[in-house]
Amino acid sequence: MSDDGLRGFMRGVNKSGDLDTRNMGKKKTEAKNSAAARNLQDQSLRGYLQKLEKSGEMLRINKEVDPATNLSAIEWKTYDQLGKATYFTNIKGHPGWEACSQIFTDRKKWAMGLSLTEDEFLSGILRRIAKPIDPVVEDNPNAPCQEIVKIGDEASLYDIPVVTISEDDGGPFIPGGMSIMKDPETGIRNISIHRQQIFDKHHTGFLMLPRQARTIHDKYRDRGENVPVAVVIGAHPAIFFGSAFTTTFGVDELSVSGALLGDPVRLVKCKTIDVEVPADAELILEGEILMGELRDEGPFGEVPGTYAEADQTEVFRLKAITHRRNPIYYALHCGMPVTDTQATTGIGIEVATWDHLSKVEGGMNILDVRCHTASGLMMLVIKLRPRINGQAKTALLAALSGPYLHPKLAVAVDEDIDANDLRQVIWSMTTRVHAEKDVTLIHNTRTFALDKISPVAEGGNQFERMGTKWLIDATMPAPTHPEERAQFKRAMPKNFDSVDIEDFLPEELFK
């Protein structure tokens, strides 16, 4: 779609250019009334969407869009050019359905979703998740996620406005489903995100990397049983965060979500399988992973912004669909940055890296950690206040050996650099780096499974890669060398910190 085409769709917001909040307001009122009747905290996606819309972080598109041909380009361009999430009210072939996309694309939106300020975001998350709160299973015959129930042949994946996302994708994919399965030995839930290509009305692919879900799958395989799985689509940001956050195997990620909510996640039992799901979710796919069955899947535009090749994956068989009345489909975008995919996983990497660095050398003086979405999750910037020379490099080594494999490049910057501003980071790299001693390469290390420039390990599959990690110390000499450090002071405008341009420029520029 051309830029003119995008502007045409944006004119469909409404005639005045203001947001039409009537339908969203109705859905928000339904959610609030339902929660208020039970004196419960709102754990829905709808409350968050209302917050985005009221703050101007989301635009509503009322013109008809087609999930097979143009919805993906519209939502991607809307964020790329305007920095806004999108809400679609008129979806071709899917009356009664609405959809949202690009709702978690940056820290500002995430901070709103978790009710934190941007300044306290990482530290606030760490403070909360240190006190996990286990979910509770309710006997609730009126659970919102089960207002509509379709079982067996009545349930069809074709009824859902699943999007064909990137040009060369092998078909429509569900990339944002939060899959809940139980360890057959302990009964402990695991929740994680797995892409699912639609094969037919009852079957999808189910990609599993060698992580926790695969471990559970293999336990069922050893028992000769299929894996019961509930796929949750559209839930409160705290629940989505929990599904994307890597914890120790055997920890229910919904307890992380509860910690972020400050309240237990409310669950209800599925209709056809022994799995519990968030009661206030938009949409649930109940089914099972078929043991021993593989099908060709892909290609698919993945997190780095390139394609994962077609390959074989496990198969998910649908048994039931349950959803809210007037359901909202969360059309997560995965592909060329920047999308929700990079931003969501990136937040998890930042939190885990900050926590990891807090244990190095008795605690690093870390000021910020940024996993840059534009890098496809493979670049970290660590902002710190080194006490002595060499400490920045220690932090970089620790960051590249942290809980996530994704980052292969780490850059350390000083406290006078905005770690989120790549212009300042690049300036720091060119003015404060002596490549011979400040750039270090670490060869023959495991790298991110989707880092296609790194070769596949001998005898491995496409997701087993070995490559080079590199770290760049772009910090000034430490405070223990004040004369050397003084040479690198930034030449900023006079009274830079005290001058406010809003006092001098036309007011309309800041409305």
Report the 3 state secondary structure along 492-507: CCCCCCCCCHHHCCCH
Q: Distance of alpha carbon 309 from its chain centroid, rounded?
A: 22
Strand, helix or coil for residue 128: helix
Structure tokens belonging to residue 164: 């064909």
Strand, helix or coil for residue 124: helix
Which pLDDT does position 507 carry in this prediction?
83
Report, as an integer, the average pLDDT of 214-225. Answer: 96
Which pLDDT does position 99 carry in this prediction?
98
pLDDT higher than 80, residue 39: no
Report, as an integer, the average pLDDT of 435-460. Answer: 90
Tell me what the pLDDT averaged over the chain comes to: 90
More confident residue, 29 or 153: 153
Residue range 236-254, pLDDT digits in tens: 999 999 998 877 888 899 9
CB distance 384 to 392 below 8 Å: yes
pLDDT higher than 60, residue 229: yes
Residue range 136-146, pLDDT digits in tens: 999 999 999 99
3-state percent helix, strand, coil for the chain, nearest multiple of 5: 30, 25, 45
CA distance 421 to 121: 17
Amino acid identity at 320: A
CA distance 314 to 318: 13
Report, as an integer, the average pLDDT of 120-147. Answer: 95
pLDDT higher than 70, residue 35: no
Which pLDDT does position 114 carry in this prediction?
96
Radius of gyration of the chain (CA): 24
CA distance 135 to 43: 12
CA distance 258 to 275: 18
Structure tokens belonging to residue 426: 């690049």
pLDDT higher than 80, residue 277: yes
Which pLDDT does position 511 carry in this prediction?
64
CA–CA–CA angle 63, 64, 70 (5° rounding): 110
Which pLDDT does position 291 carry in this prediction?
96
Domains of the chain in sequence order: 1-103 (no CATH), 134-324 (2.30.110.10), 340-486 (3.40.1670.10)
Which pLDDT does position 106 carry in this prediction?
94
CA distance 419 to 367: 9
Residue range 293-340, pLDDT digits in tens: 999 999 999 989 999 889 999 999 999 999 999 999 999 999 999 999
Amino acid identity at 312: Q
CB distance 349 to 405 below 8 Å: no
pLDDT higher than 50, residue 154: yes
- Bridge partner residues of 441 (DSSP): 470
Report, as an integer, the average pLDDT of 31-48. Answer: 71
pLDDT higher than 90, residue 73: yes
Report, as an integer, the average pLDDT of 260-266. Answer: 97
8-state DSSP, 432 = S
